[in-house]
Amino acid sequence: MNVTELISEIKKKKSFLCVGLDTDVNKLPAHLPKNSSGILEFNKTIIEATKDFAVSYKINTAFYEHLGSEGWKILEKTRELLPANVFSIADAKRGDIGNTSTMYAKAFFENLDFDSVTVAPYMGRDSVEPFLEFSNKVTIVLGLTSNAGSADFQTNTIYTPSLYKTVLKTVSQWGTPDNLMFVIGATKAEALKEIRTIIPDHFLLIPGVGAQGGSAPEVCKNGANSSGGLLINSSRGIIYASNGKDYGEAARREAEKLANETSIYT
Amino acid sequence: MNVTELISEIKKKKSFLCVGLDTDVNKLPAHLPKNSSGILEFNKTIIEATKDFAVSYKINTAFYEHLGSEGWKILEKTRELLPANVFSIADAKRGDIGNTSTMYAKAFFENLDFDSVTVAPYMGRDSVEPFLEFSNKVTIVLGLTSNAGSADFQTNTIYTPSLYKTVLKTVSQWGTPDNLMFVIGATKAEALKEIRTIIPDHFLLIPGVGAQGGSAPEVCKNGANSSGGLLINSSRGIIYASNGKDYGEAARREAEKLANETSIYT
């Protein structure tokens, strides 16, 4: 799915919802086996239960990688479970010198056929461009993250303008709103208005709603643009809404609730 | 292997050499099959051929990841090929919010049992500390990288001091020379003297010698400290020294040459 198709899906579903599949084998509902097949059954149920409200799914690669090659098999199978009419995100936060970034891009864009992948900006242009070279794929670069550590460098007050603003300004010139998005944490909703003066047209992937404390309506009010321009991610708040056999219905309920909170802004 | 053991290995072999296993299936010697078993045979031969001179091996995860779960199996098997008396590095450049970084740390420190992993600093303290919490393991944080893109943020002249100096100064307070190292590109040898005033005691992982144009003696002259304090990585210059059946001997020759260039500084 490309950005144009994503925009039409947002309008159709009236939702900015992205469901994060940060599936932790130790947090599976009590009745599921704590192994590969348990994870897969869980992911399948969550996807089925939430797909009426979600326009996007974000798969956090760390949660699969720590299980080794077996985990990568689950990642591959989970990718295959995603319906065609959602925007798929590999939340991998990769980035390296040119030829290595090309390999990472192949891993996520070709081998796994994700629509997009998250990338760290620290190494600069020649670490990001290899991802941008893949046509009909989207590179999502870290801008202002939702965690406390964002204060260490991204918003460190010894620098004016803040590092994250320089990152947004600089990186936005390397691509277009059709192949480039940015990660902006929901916990920084107050910064979104100013961020929209720097990058008015790019989509923003917004993690940090729910467990991390960000507010979806607040994010929409400050961050939505004329084409929508937002993907609001919730992981734990949706996928772990219940630890019982009703985890699918509970996830559906939370997904619907979050989608509804954003619908008037779509 | 921990840092104390690494130091004694450096003194014993009189070498700072780290061999980078950036094994590209398309660059294997002509007679090897272009598949998993070809990659494994290649890695085995390279390790056998260079282990008298190398104190460390750096496995670039991208080169395995782009082959999917099959690639991760090769990564696992390659890790098992590394001898016990070398310092193993997963060059993965990971980093995410706390619980996700813990998963990445488990992937490389537990599942794959690497001695160390490379980590990107952009997301700050709570993205790096989960790695530092693993005892007897080493976190290698990006400082000043060898690529042209390092000028975009790391050495962007709108910031004083340079971002990379703030990163070195700040991150060095999160760990000790026993659990924390930094990546400094060999192409920035002239900066090493000043870097040593900021982080006199930490080991530096130095990529960029060989194909990227950095000089090993120059790096040693400016960067070595009383415990050695350097790991000088060469990947392409060693592993692709020959495309023929003599690729093992050719790699051994290049490894010996590079080790010899550094030996008086160990």
- Contact yes or no for B120 and A124 at CB 8 A: no
ipTM for the whole complex? 0.96
**Class in CATH terms, B3-263:** alpha beta
Instruction: Pick the closest to residue B121 from A187, A145, A204 (CA basis).
Output: A145
Length of chain A: 266
Write out the E strands in B74-195: 87-94, 116-119, 138-144, 180-184
Residue B265, helix vs strand vs coil: coil
- Contact yes or no for A149 and B142 at CB 8 A: no
Residue A183's pLDDT is what?
A: 98
Rg (CA), chain A: 17
Mean pLDDT of chain A: 96
Q: What is the largest CA-CA distance in chain A?
A: 53
Band of residue A21 on the pLDDT scale cut at 50, 70, 90: very high
How do residues A200-256 score in pLDDT, each as one tens digit?
999 999 998 877 778 899 999 999 999 899 999 999 999 999 999 999 999 999 999
Distance from CA of A12 to the nearest CA of B (A): 32
- Contact between A184 and A210 under an 8 Å Cβ cutoff? The reply is no
Least CB–CB distance from B149: residue in A69, A100, A127: A127
C-alpha distance across the termini of chain A, in Å: 18
In this structure, whether the domain defined by A3-265 belongs to CATH 3.20.20.70 is answered with yes
- Contact yes or no for B62 and A104 at CB 8 A: yes
Q: What is the DSSP letter of B111?
A: I
Residue B103, helix vs strand vs coil: helix
Q: At what angle do helices B68-81 and A68-81 cross, to 10 degrees?
A: 170
Return the active site residues of B. Answer: 93
Q: A120: which chain B residues are within 8 Å (Cβ-Cβ)?
A: 93, 95, 120, 122-123
Q: What is the DSSP string of A5-49?
A: HHHHHHHHHT--EEEEE---GGGS-TTS-SSHHHHHHHHHHHHHH
Buried b (16+ CB within 10 A) or exposed e, A9-24: bbeebbbbbbbbbbbb
Instruction: Pick the closest to residue A127 from A97, A94, A102, A99 (CA basis).
Output: A97
pTM for the complete prediction? 0.97
d(CA A212, CA B100): 13
pLDDT digit string (tens) for chain B, length 266 residues: 999 999 999 999 999 999 999 999 999 999 999 999 999 999 999 999 999 999 999 999 999 999 999 999 999 999 999 999 999 999 999 999 989 999 999 999 999 999 999 999 999 999 999 999 999 999 999 999 989 999 999 999 999 999 999 999 999 999 999 999 999 998 877 899 999 999 999 999 999 887 777 889 999 999 999 999 999 999 999 999 999 999 999 999 999 999 999 999 99
d(CA B27, CA B211): 15
| Cis check: omega of the bond before A161, within 30 degrees of 0 | yes
Distance from CA of B75 to the nearest CA of A (A): 9
Domain boundaries, chain B: 3-263
How do residues B182-223 score in pLDDT, each as one tens digit?
999 988 778 999 999 999 999 999 998 877 778 899 999 999
A19, pLDDT greater than 90: yes
Best of A27, A36, A65, A188 to disrupt the B interface (most B CBs within 10 Å) is: A65
- Contact between B108 and B92 under an 8 Å Cβ cutoff? The reply is yes
Best of B24, B60, B103 to disrupt the A interface (most A CBs within 10 Å) is: B103
Which residue type is seen at A56?
S
Residue B52, helix vs strand vs coil: coil
Q: A22: which chain B residues are within 8 Å (Cβ-Cβ)?
A: 99-100
- Contact between B113 and B138 under an 8 Å Cβ cutoff? The reply is no
Least CB–CB distance from A126: residue in B69, B71, B147: B147
- Contact yes or no for B147 and A124 at CB 8 A: yes
DSSP H/E element including B204: strand B204-206
Distance from CA of B246 to the nearest CA of A (A): 25
How far is residue A138 from each of residues A53, A132, A177, A203, A205, measured CA to CA in Å?
22, 7, 9, 10, 12
Q: B97: which chain A residues are within 8 Å (Cβ-Cβ)?
A: 145-147, 149, 212
Best of A40, A97, A155 to disrupt the B interface (most B CBs within 10 Å) is: A97
- Contact yes or no for B95 and A120 at CB 8 A: yes
Return the active site residues of A. Answer: 93
